[in-house]
A and B are shown apart, each in its own frame.
Chain A
Amino acid sequence: MENNKTAWERLALVHTKGRPTVRDYIPLIFTDFHELHGDRYYGDDHAIIGGIARLDGRPVTVIAQVKGRDLNENKDCNFAMPLPEGYRKALRLAKQAEKFHRPVICFIDTPGAYAGMAAEERGQGEAIAKNIAEFMTLRTPVISIVLGEGGSGGALALGVCDELAMLENAQYSVVSPRGFASILWKDASREEEACNIMQVTADDMVRLGVAETIIEEPLGGAHNDLDKISENIREYLSLKIEEKCQKDIDELLKARYTKYRKIGEFTE
């Protein structure tokens, strides 16, 4: 692993054109992927895709935030900024997975939930809150992986899980560095400084108890060897899904709740 990069340099890697998206990974990690559309209430958000597939022959549910690989794809998926119907689709598929005893695999890759009038009118806050609460007690194993950007509540809505993994250069944060600088210093141009003090890297996540595992990227970043990074992700998932499926579900849920219950620093 490359340990000498700053958070800002890693963010640049995540934003590199050609960084693989979930659309690149799915055919290399899973077989028989069937995409399932729509939230059954309003529409089909293209920033989150989901479906059923096989991992090592075992049926699993896959839910993923999708970045575009070019401008046209980005227009279609709204730059991976989900609307409430995206989160509601994710929850529908998660509940379906619970019904059929399939583990759930979530891929996180979003700058944040969409901030717009349509999102507010259809209850962006409610949709995210509901997912967080429901995933906490979802009676099937859940593994989440941050592929690139894990932006705020929009990421957490797919991030309540038994184990969280970070790709080596991926970041997870409460707000974008730009937003952070703009809110706290009223100066968005200080985003590099913000990025470097916010503690957003994979190492930070493991230290703070947010993530359990770092998945190694090929030298120079995931885009340098798609087969290798896909293999690393597949290996991790095979191992973890098997491990979690062996566990008693009530113990798994207890451990899931405890994981989040422990995060926080205070004195009395």
Chain B
Amino acid sequence: MFEDFFKVVKHRFNGGEEEETVPSFKCPRCQGVVSLERYEDMIRVCPNCNYHGRLTARERIAVTFDKDSFEEFDSSMISCDPISFPEYPEKQEELREATGLNDAIVTGTALIKGHKAVVGVMDSRYMMASMGSVVGEKIARAFEYATENNLPVIMFTASGGARMQEGIVSLMQMAKTSGAVKLHSDNGGLYITVLTDPTTGGVTASFASLGDIIIAEPKILIGFAGRRVIESTMKQRLPEDFQLAEFMQEKGFVDMIVERKKMRVTLASLLAMHTQEEKEV
């Protein structure tokens, strides 16, 4: 009886809504809470503020490329332990199990509305998509393949930066990837970067910033140094929109901000303007 009474009071208190624990999503940008189902229905876009949330590499491939067109490169490549960092191999083992990935990037070729491109998609679930030997090698190979075959490259970036556990070897991946991008560019190849949440550190300071066209998803984080690091050096609060895609576009580092639902058609249109046939006209 008492339980019923509480139910009635609760019911009135909540303005008629049943208080059930529906799985919810709290937006890191606007702090608004929506049901997880609604957020998922919108392909992980916050309905309140348009923050574009994180997708796994496989999900990104599914929503962006032509059905069944993705052909993967180097799927079995796994990292060694170049500086013998304690528990690094075990940590990777666990992550491979948990994510079904072998490292933080998936590369291959795919079609977008029939246009072929070499593609790379980073996945932040794997050690915050930090760049170590495998990420560096797969990106370099992807660009080299694209250069040899005169194909455009599209990279969906997301990363916390260098893979600390690989020490200086991870830093050198910035040189390896940027070098491969440069040779592809010098060969006349098109490179489109799509910055997704979050793109930071050594990835921002290498291949992510080298696109001919740099696209960002709305409200995502883009930066070199982390917000906390900057706040501690400057000893002051930073503006709310600092390092968001819109801020970086205003400062001149992002060509276009494209919503997820329009990404496919935008990429297809850009690719179409850079095909061989049109170049020869």
Contacts and interface: CB of A to CB of B under 8 A. Distances in A.
26 contacts: A115-B225, A117-B230, A120-B242, A126-B209, A128-B224, A129-B205, A129-B209, A132-B205, A133-B182, A136-B179, A137-B183, A152-B171, A156-B171, A160-B175, A174-B202, A175-B164, A184-B164, A199-B168, A208-B169, A257-B183, A260-B172, A260-B176, A261-B180, A265-B166, A266-B137, A267-B77
Interface in B66-99: 74, 76-86
Contacts of A125: 204-205, 208-209, 222-224, 253
B173 interface: yes
Contacts of B134: 264, 266
B251 to A, nearest CB: 5
Interface in B189-232: 201-202, 204-210, 222-226, 229-230
Q: Which 5 A-B pairs have the closest CB atoms?
A: A115-B225, A125-B204, A264-B133, A265-B80, A125-B224
Contacts of B74: 268
Contacts of A257: 179, 183
A219 interface: no
A261 B168 contact: no
A39 interface: no
Interface residues of A, number: 50
Contacts of B173: 263-264
B205 A153 contact: yes
B186 interface: yes
Contacts of B164: 174-175, 180, 183-184
A204 interface: yes
Q: Which of A125, A132, A210 has the largest count of B CB atoms less than 10 A from its CB? A: A125
B133 A261 contact: no
> Could you say which interface size class chain B belongs to?
35 or more
A132 B178 contact: yes
B165 to A, nearest CB: 7
Contacts of A122: 251
A268 B78 CA distance: 6
A130 B209 contact: yes
Given A153-B205, A263-B172, A208 B233 contact: no
Given A116-B230, A260-B176, A261-B140, A132 B206 contact: yes
A12 interface: no
Interface of A: 113, 115-117, 119-126, 128-130, 132-134, 136-137, 152-153, 156-157, 159-160, 172-175, 180, 183-184, 197-200, 204-205, 208, 210, 257, 260-261, 263-268
B281 interface: no
B42 interface: no
Contacts of A130: 209-210
Contacts of A137: 179, 182-183, 186
A264 B252 CA distance: 33
A119 B168 contact: no
B89 to A, nearest CB: 11
Contact of B167 (A128, A173, A260, A268): A173
A136 B224 contact: no
